[in-house]
Amino acid sequence: MSKTIALIGALDTKGHEFAFVQQEIKRRGHRTLVIDSGVIGEPLLAPDIAAHELAHAGGVELTDLRAQADRGKAVEVMAKGAAIIVKDLFEAGKIDGVLGMGGSAGTAVGTAAMRALPIGVPKLMVSTLASGDVAAYVGTTDIVMMPSVVDVAGINRFSARIFANAVGAMVGMVETAPPQVAAKPLIAASMFGNTTQLVDLCRAALEAKGYEVLVFHATGTGGRIMESLIEAGYINGVLDVTTTEWADELVGGVLTAGDTRLDAAAKQGIPQIIAPGCIDMVNFWARATVPTQFESRLFYEWNPNVTLMRTTIEENAELGRILAEKANQSTAPVAFFLPLRGVSVLDSPGGEFWLPEANQALFDTIKATVRPDIPVYELDQNINDPAFSASVVDKLLEFLEAKQIA
């Protein structure tokens, strides 16, 4: 069945490149809907939605943008308008996916439109920036970023193949029917390499009870995506047993999820279990990238590209306060589980990060700060022990069943 692929980009400078892509899509048996985000001049390819429509949707007329000659303002307005228009097109059933191409401005506008679409809708951005840090462009969505290798400027032996590959990837995505998966109540769980055993055991136990478990890698992006899905109303219960992203946020590591981490479940009234998994570590990239102010600290090189730094007693006390205050905002059942024999694989008796004094500061602050009605369970186990996983699963199931009864 023929699908409609939206093409978005600056047609005043990249019209010939988009014409090539349009031809390739049509050759594969699909339709296009061309959206012009160019501000400077007239389009070199006739658009279905003109640049003045994007500007108007973004709150400023195109003639005014041209008169102002402010590139930053123009990108901001066109990105806002593109997001509104592309979302409306999808909700009206007029497009099945989005393909964009461009440099920094084109990437900003194209990915803004893509981020407005639900997860699962095909989104592909051919970009000169795709080989670098693309977190700001991808956000918490499933955008595919494809490096253009050469600039999006002309059709040559390299760009022609890359553009054709992009079309092939896009066509494959729009032709792929979503698999039929039985709808089950969803549980969100946070995991890191140092809590994999715990989460694997929890996932197996919850799946045996008829739940579907979504596991999020606590790398900053993972935490933000988990929070966004909870906020969007997809999640029935939360097993937040790897709260390490807060250590990076507090101390200055590279895998922070921001200061709203742990907010969504509390605000949405979702039952949750909280454990201080991997709070013992702050993440940096290769050892040489660690800031000099941390030279005297304890490190563990997890792999050649990831360096872990042990959190201190003082940092753990502050982290305990933060976790407790986040839980205190909850309007649904919530409980803390504290593993007295360590919060990670490295933080276990005899392990490289074993520091009972720091853990005790964490635990004491949680107990002193948390609301009196929020239970705190101290278990004489490591966080990865099977008995610990059984306890947190039992309590989450208790919360979920109580909510269903109510």
Tens digits of per-residue pLDDT, 177-194? 988 878 899 999 999 999
* pLDDT exceeds 80 at position 405: no
Contacts of 156 (CB under 8 A, 6+ apart): 150
Give the closest residue to 222 by CA, choosing from 184, 248, 197. 248
Domains and CATH numbers, the chain: 4-175 (3.40.50.12020), 186-405 (3.40.50.12030)
pLDDT, the chain, mean? 96
Query: Is 181 exposed, middle or buried (CB count within 10 Å of its CB: 0-12, 13-18, 19+)?
Result: exposed
* CA distance linking residue 198 with residue 203, whole number of Å: 9
At residue 403 the predicted structure's pLDDT band, cuts being 50, 70 and 90, is confident
Neighbouring C-beta atoms of residue 48, cutoff 10 Å: 14
Which uninterrupted H or E stretch holds 301? Answer: strand 299-303
Considering the entire predicted model, what is its pTM? 0.85
pLDDT in tens, 333-382: 999 999 999 999 999 999 999 999 999 999 999 999 999 999 999 999 99
pLDDT in tens, 77-134: 999 999 999 999 999 999 999 999 999 999 999 999 999 999 999 999 999 999 888 9
Give the closest residue to 274 by CA, choosing from 239, 304, 305. 239
* Mean pLDDT in residue range 315-325: 98
